[in-house]
Chains A and B, each alone.
Chain A
Amino acid sequence: MAAVIFWVMAVVAVLGGIGVVASRQPIRSVLSLVVVMLALAVEFLILSAQFLFAVQIIVYAGAVMVLFLFVVALLGPMKERRQLRFQWGLALLVALVFGGFLYSMLGSVPFRAPQRTALSVFGTVQDIAYGLFTKYLYPFELTSVLLLVAAIGAIYLSRGGHGIQARREEDDRRA
Chain B
Amino acid sequence: MAQIALAVLLFPAAGAAVLGLGALRLPRRAVQVIGPGVVWASFLLVAYLFWHSLSHPQPLNLTYWTWVHSGSFQVPANIYLDRLAIFMGLVITGVGGLIITYALGYMEHESDASYARFFCYMDVFILSMLTLVLSGNFVFLIVGWAGVGLSSYLLIGFWYWRWTAVIAARKAFVMNVVGDIGMILGTFIIFVSFHQVTYTGVFAALPGHDTPALEAIAFLMLVGGVAKSAQLPLHTWLPDAMEGPTPVSALIHAATMVTAGVYLVGRLHPIYDVAHYAQDTVAAVGAVTALFAATIAIVQTDIKKVLAYSTMSQIGYMFLGVGVAAYAAAFFHLMSHAFFKALLFMSGGNVIHGMKDEQDMRRYGGLLRQMPATAICFLVGSLALAGIIPFVGFWSKDMILGAAFSKPAGQFPVSMWAIGFVTAILTGFYTGRMWWISFAGKPSPDRPVERPHEAQAVMLVPVVILAVLATVGGFIQMTALHVNVTLIENFLAPTVGRISWSGGALELEVTVATLILALAAFGLGYLIYVRRSLPVWSRALPFLQRLLEHKYYFDELYDAIFVQTMNLSARGGDTLLEEPVVEGTPEGVGSAASSSAGILALAQSGYFRTYALIFLGGALVALIVLVAVRA
Contact of B624 among A105, A108, A109 (CB under 8 A): A105
* Distance A102 CA – B627 CA, assembled complex (angstroms): 9
Tell me if B620 and A109 are in contact (CB < 8 A): no
Interface residues on B, range: under 10
Cβ of A32 to closest chain B Cβ, rounded Å: 20
| In the complex, A1 has a CB within 8 A of chain B | no
Does A106 reach chain B (CB closer than 8 Å)? yes
Q: Check if A111 is an interface residue, CB within 8 A of chain B.
A: no
Is A105's CB under 8 angstroms from B627's CB? yes
In the assembly, what is the distance between CA of A98 and CA of B620, in Å?
8
Q: Which single residue of chain A is at the shortest CB-CB distance from B620?
A: A98
Can you name 13 A-B pairs with beta carbons within 8 Å? A98-B620, A101-B624, A102-B623, A105-B624, A105-B627, A105-B628, A105-B631, A106-B627, A108-B627, A108-B631, A109-B627, A109-B630, A109-B631
Residue of A98, A102, A105, A109 with highest tally of chain B CB at under 10 A = A105
Give the size range of A's interface with the partner: under 10
Q: State the majority secondary structure of interface residues on A.
A: helix
* Residues in B whose Cβ lies below 8 Å from that of A108: 627, 631
Chain A residues near B (Cβ < 8 Å): 98, 101-102, 105-106, 108-109
Provide the residues of chain A in CB contact with B627, threshold 8 Å.
Answer: 105-106, 108-109
Seen from chain B, the residues whose Cβ lies within 8 Å of a Cβ on chain A are: 620, 623-624, 627-628, 630-631
Q: How far is the CB of B114 from chain A (nearest CB, A)?
A: 62
User: Which residues of the other chain, A, contact B623 by a CB distance below 8 angstroms?
Assistant: 102
CB distance from A91 to the nearest CB of B (A): 11
CB contacts between A and B, total, < 8 Å: 13
Chain B: minimal CB distance from A35 (Å): 24
Complex: how many Å from CA A98 to CA B619? 12
Query: How far is B627's CA from A106's CA once the two chains are assembled, in angstroms?
Result: 7
Q: Which residue of B lies closest to A106 (CB)?
A: B627
Chain A, Cβ-Cβ closest to B616: A98
Q: How far is the CB of A99 from chain B (nearest CB, A)?
A: 11
**Known A105-B624, A105-B627, A105-B631; 10 more pairs at CB < 8 Å:** A98-B620, A101-B624, A102-B623, A105-B628, A106-B627, A108-B627, A108-B631, A109-B627, A109-B630, A109-B631
Query: Within the assembled complex, what's the spacing in Å between the Cα atoms of A105 and B624?
Result: 8
Chain B: which residue is nearest A105 at the CB level? B627
Interface hub of B624, B627, B628 (most chain A Cβ within 10 A): B627
Measured CB to CB, the nearest residue on chain B to A109 is B630
Q: Which 9 pairs across A and B sit closest by C-beta, in order of nearness?
A: A108-B631, A105-B627, A109-B630, A106-B627, A98-B620, A109-B627, A105-B624, A109-B631, A102-B623
For the complex formed, measure the closest distance between the CB of A95 and the CB atoms of chain B, giving whole angstroms: 11
Q: How far is the CB of B119 from chain A (nearest CB, A)?
A: 70
- From A101, which residue of chain B is reached at the shortest CB distance? B624
The interface residues of chain B lying within 8 Å CB-to-CB of A98 are 620
Closest Cβ of chain A to B609, distance in Å, is: 11
- In the assembled complex, the Cα of A108 lies from the Cα of B623 at a distance in Å of 14
In the complex, what distance in Å separates the CA atom of A108 from the CA atom of B627?
9
Q: Which residues of A are found within 8 Å of B624, using beta-carbon distances?
A: 101, 105
Which A residues touch B620, using CB under 8 A?
98
How many angstroms from the CA of A102 to the CA of B620 in the assembled complex? 9
Q: How far is the CA of A108 from the CA of B624 in the complex (A)?
A: 12
Query: Chain B residues with Cβ under 8 A from A106's Cβ?
Result: 627
Q: How far is the CB of B623 from chain A (nearest CB, A)?
A: 7
Closest to B630 in A: A109
Residues of A within 8 A of B631 (CB): 105, 108-109
Bound CA span A102–B628, Å: 11
A105 proximity list for chain B (CB < 8 A): 624, 627-628, 631
Across the two chains, which residue of chain A brings its CB closest to B627?
A105
